[in-house]
Each structure stands twice: as structure tokens, then as C-alpha cells.
Structure 1
Amino acid sequence: MSDFDVIVTGAGPAGLAAACLLALDGRRVALVARTPGDQSDPRTVALMQPSIRLLMHLGLWPGQLKAETQPLRKLRLVDDTGSLFKAPTITFDPAELGEDAFGWNFPLGLLIPALSQRAAELGVQMTGADAATAQSSSDGVSVTTAAGQRIEAQVALAADGRNSLLRDAAGIRTNRWSYDQSALVTSFDHTGTHDGISTEYHKGAGPFTTVPMPGDRSSLVWMERPARAAELMALSDQELGAEIQIGTHGELGRISNLGPRRLFPMQGLVARDFAKNRIILIGEAAHVVPPIGAQGLNMSLRDAAQAADLMEGEADPGNADILNRYDALRRRDVQPRQQVIDMMNRSLLSGFLALETGRAAGMALLAQFGPLRRAVMTYGLAPSGGLPRVMRAPAPEPPVLLA
């Protein structure tokens, strides 16, 4: 009944990656999304090693992407809350795991066009218009675009964001919540060197995170109370640069040449089903987390890779067994991470002494106990239940036995 094997709605990194992976597997894929317009999004994304291996599988790494991105040599957590019980600074070093870097920091304005071009090269059919309506039935999914084009497929991957039209068409409900925070996102030059270190300063209103970019430049995600965030947005570049310099305690030197800035309200979301009625949720259609620990997009790319894994070689890529297995596998990865991120964020916002003391004690244990620190780093990179095939590290070469 279908024009295509798979419909993907949404042209963010997760939707584009899913479309590329499925096209590589020989699927007929339609990408339902408007043509990207404004490329001034100031956000960057830290892609960890498993996500880098996905890009390698797509033929996008190392190449030009690696030349224009910055390796993350270390991750540092700094207690800057002013709490009575101050936690020690923790430095996570990938050398403890036998790696040179945890991953690389990508501007979204670089990553999305690269994935979009690769999708076109692989034969993904792009509608150039968002979905306007969608329906699912026992044997397929139909989508009508805003331009009036009707497309049918055996299964649809909903990568159309936290207000997903496809999720509603599947009859999937969500749990949503908001935080008393907004995130100010920008980038800046600095006279000091970042040494490839990303630093997450834990402050009373949430994390203030600097992430290295090529040269003496860094990106910033500054989570603040909404009223204070609005005040910061209204400052001149010079005034905001001075505030950033204070926030970093001068560790990056003098701040200048600020990039575009945007403000994002902080929210959380989790779908009650990750797949239902021939519709599979990936990315923010399934889960939304605050930008803590570089988990958001890495989880979303695991969604895309897991869906492609389960569909590989299947005559009906939308059958009930695939949907049930996808739901179980992704829930096992996403929900524990979401709970940890939520607990960490709320502990900063609460002002309760017991929570602050518990967080400080936990960080002290991480700083002092190497095996626990390495376990946390390993879990931060990949789920304990294993990775989708294209994200796994290659098996080591067997030893050569000499006669």
C-alpha cells in the first residue's frame, strides 16, 4: 500500500541520521520537513564517541567535520553554589578509559547541513514541507504535508520535536514538566586557552557550562532563573561578556566577540510509549532533558540507530515485535538518565541543605574513588545494556601467534 518503506518527520540531527541509516540499508525513505532556513542557531552539541562512530558509518567522519570541530579532552565539574558543604572539583579524563577524547563539540549550523547533504546523496526523498496531518492504520502510516502532498509508508519515525504531530497520531500521551529556569546560549572568544576542557560550574540557579570550540573560543549554556536570564539577554555584548568572565572566575581570560544568543525555557518530557501503532518516537518526540552532561542529542542518536538496527532485513519494518522491542530497549536507556539529570538539576535549585549535602558527598566520592568514576564515565558514554551496532567500538584484533 505504500509509496515508501519509511517516513521520517523532522529534519533535526536525529531525524536526518535516522533517514541516512535507513537509506543505507536500502529502504525507500521520505523525509517530511521544511527546508532548513535560518542557520543562526547558536547552539553546539557535544557528540560522544558512540555518536562519532555513527557519523563514521555514514561516511561523514573524519573528513571536513573533524577539521571544523573541537575534541573534548576532559570534562570538569565545579561546585560553585556557595553552599556550606562545598564539593571537590571533579575532572573526568578519557585516558582512564583508554581514549584520547570523550567526543567532539559540533556547531548545529555545521552538523545539520552535513547530515542533510548526506541524506540527499543516499536518495532520501525530501518533501520540503512539514507534516500537516497524519494517520496510522493496521498496515501503514499516511502523512499529508503542508503543501498538500500525501505520502504513505509501512512505518513512520517521529522526529518532529516535543510537540510531535506524529506522536499525537499514534495516540501516545506524555508526562511533561517545567523547571524554574531558562538557558541562555551563546559563544565567545577568550584570551586564555581552554585546553579542550569542558567545564560545568554548578551554580545556585543551575549549571553554567563552557564547551571548547576550535581556537580560543567556547560555547556557553547558562541556566538561570527566568527573570535573571531575561536581564542577561537585554545586556550589551560588552556587559554580557563581563558577566561571563565573572561566571568563569576569569579562568578563560578576557571575554570578547560574543556570537548570536538565544534563550530556551527549560522543560522535561517523557512519552508513555516510545512506539505504538506503526509510529516510532525518536529524539525530543520521546524525551526532553535539560542540557546537563551532554546526554540529550546522544540519546536521540541512539534512538535513530536502534530503530535502524531493529528494522534491518525485516520485510515489515513496522511490525509489532519491532515496536515492542524498541520501546523496551530505549526505555531502559532513557529513563534512568532522565531521572539522574532531573535529580541533579533539582538539587541545585532546591536550596535544601540535605540535598546539597548529598550532592556534595556524591561528588566527593566520585573524585576520590577511581573505579566508581570510571564506571560513571563509561555509563555516560553508552547504556549498560549495549549500543546499537553502528555505534559500537570495533572488536580488538586477535593477537598474532608466532610459530
Structure 2
Amino acid sequence: MKSLKILSLKVKAENPYSIYIGEDVSLYLDEFLNTLNLGNYGVILTNKTIFSLYQNYAQKIFKNSKRRTFTFKILPDTEKTKSLFYLTKILNELGKLTYKERVFFVCWGGGVIGDLGGFIASIYKRGSPYIQIPTTLLSQIDSSIGGKTAIDLKTGKNLVGSFWQPALVLTDISFLKTLPSSQIKEGLSEAVKYGLIKDKKLFEFIEKNHQRILEKKPLLKLIYSCVKIKKQIVEKDEREEKGIRTILNFGHTIAHGIESASNYRISHGKAVSLGIISALYISLKEGILKDKEIILRTEKVFKKIGFLLKIKIRTDKIWEAVKKDKKFIKGKTRLILLENIGKPRIKEDIKASTILEGIRKITYLPYT
């Protein structure tokens, strides 16, 4: 394997697992399965886009043999796939299997497939093993690592879920070759988040190299840097019980509100960019962030990446969705704010008027 990076994520609840990052690492799945011995019946969850692009490649990755067979569950390529409908549909299909099939799951796709597949694995027979093979930049640097799994409800995003760590993550950057530039942008919004909360050098790297990243050039360095940050945070606070892992939600509380308020017409990456800007303005209003230049730099990098800095959704509609967020605990408002690059802070009991003011910074329709 050329230009291979390997990280081991060690958590208390399950065995440590490896994250392999490089070109064509998914082609070695069979060797990994021989070592891991996860089962004899692999259920591959993927979407129609990935399957149509890589149908021939899939035959090289998922090899039927005397040891194991594979079956595909090909799902729509949309956020709405993370739903009770597809959850129960797949579980009912699995219920027809016999005791001879020792099931393991493979999530071959972006964040939606990883979230849904991981959640199914966590509840099928009270927990089954699964492997992540993320195919988007967003899922490679973020959602495939750390064991957060979930589905959406009509009332909000990721409201039903669990912590369930994968047995293996194969981050094959060759899948990014067919990824449209819009999807590279999606991942870059999460990368900016990592830079702001943990790594000044990473933030500066994105500022200087955003155009090259959009052209898919220094991707290995970018992915490895982000995954390393997330690995270190998850190892310290796997289940978000100590407030350490919570910082990964920087910008996400308002982002999830935007996604929900738009009925998921606004993508996750775009929503995260707006959520980050809003959180920075709230940080400034709260007196936590002293340097307004950080906001201007962040807005500038998002604009250069190609994101809009304002959207046409009513402030109150976003606020109503934000109030349902699972990160608001015991009736208290709770956001991750920023003191400086690399210094996030969890803040509770923020006035609703302050949050609304932060949301108004990113909307063209600020009032009801």
C-alpha cells in the first residue's frame, strides 16, 4: 500500500481498532476479515451513487468465499435515508436469516450510510460488529471515527442513536477521485472546525491551501491531521461524559437546526460552516472571544471555499429546531464557543436573545 497512514484508536468499552488511510486500502478488506473473524455473512450498506460508480470495483473488495458471503443493501443517496423507515425495513429483512449466518456489517458510503449502518449494528442482536469504509471527505475525516451512530426523526437530526465503535476503518482516498468539488467543500467545513478548536497550524494550512484541497491534492495530509485530532479526543472521552468530546460539536448545534429547518435541503457541510460563523459571533457577544479578526478570517476562508455566508430561512424557524437539540441538557442552553484558535469553551445558560442574535448573523430573514 502506497503512502499508508495507520492510527490505532483505543477506547475502554470495546477493543482498540485501527484506522488505515491511503489509496486502495479497501482492496485489502479480505485480509483484514481473515484476521478479525467477525462473521460469515457480510451485510453491505451502500447508496445508489456509490454502487453505480464502483460496481466493478466492489467485486474486488467484497469477495465471496467459503469463509464468508456478502449481500448488498442499496439505499437512496439522501439524508432522509437515516430514518425509522429504512431502519425497520433492514431489520425486518435481517430477521429472516437463520442461526447459521453470523452477521457483520460494512458501511460503504458517506456519513448517512455510516450513521444508519452503525446504528443497525449496535442494536441487531444487541450488538454486532461493523466496518466503516467511508467514501466522502466529510465521512473520512469525521463521522466514520468515534462510534457515534444515529438516525433522524421528523422533529430533528440524530435524535435516536448510540455509541458503538467499529471493528475497523478503511479510509480509501481513491474514492475521492470521483467526488464532485461540492462534496470536497462539505468535508472542508469539518476540517475548518478541527483547526479552530484544536490546531492553529491546520487552520492556517487550510487558509493557504484551500484551492489545492478543492483540486484534491494534499488530501492525505488533511485527512490524517483531522483523524488524529478526533482519535485523541475520543480516546479521552468516548461517550461524551467528561465534556472533552463535546468540543467536536462546535458549530453543530445551530448547524443541525439549520438542516432541520430547511427540511435537509441545506447540506451538512454548508450548515456547519454557517453554524461555526454563528457560534463565533455568539462567542464575541458573550465576551469569550476577544479577537474579531478570527471571525473575519473564518468568513473569508469559507467564502473562498465557496460557501454562502447567509441563507434565506427565518431565524425563529432555526431557533425552534435548535431548542430540540440533544446537547441542550436539563432545559439549559448549551453551546461550544471559542476563546481563541485552539481554545474552545463549553458555555451553558446563554440567553436566548444572544443565540438569536448569532443566528441573525447568518440569515437574510432575521425576524418572524
Scaled by the length of structure 1, the TM-score of the pair is 0.25
- From the CA coordinates, give the structure whose radius of gyration is larger: 1
Between 1 and 2, higher relative CO (CA 8 Å, sep ≥ 6) is seen in 1
Higher percent of residues as strand: 1
Higher percent of residues as helix: 2
Scaled by the length of structure 2, the TM-score of the pair is 0.27
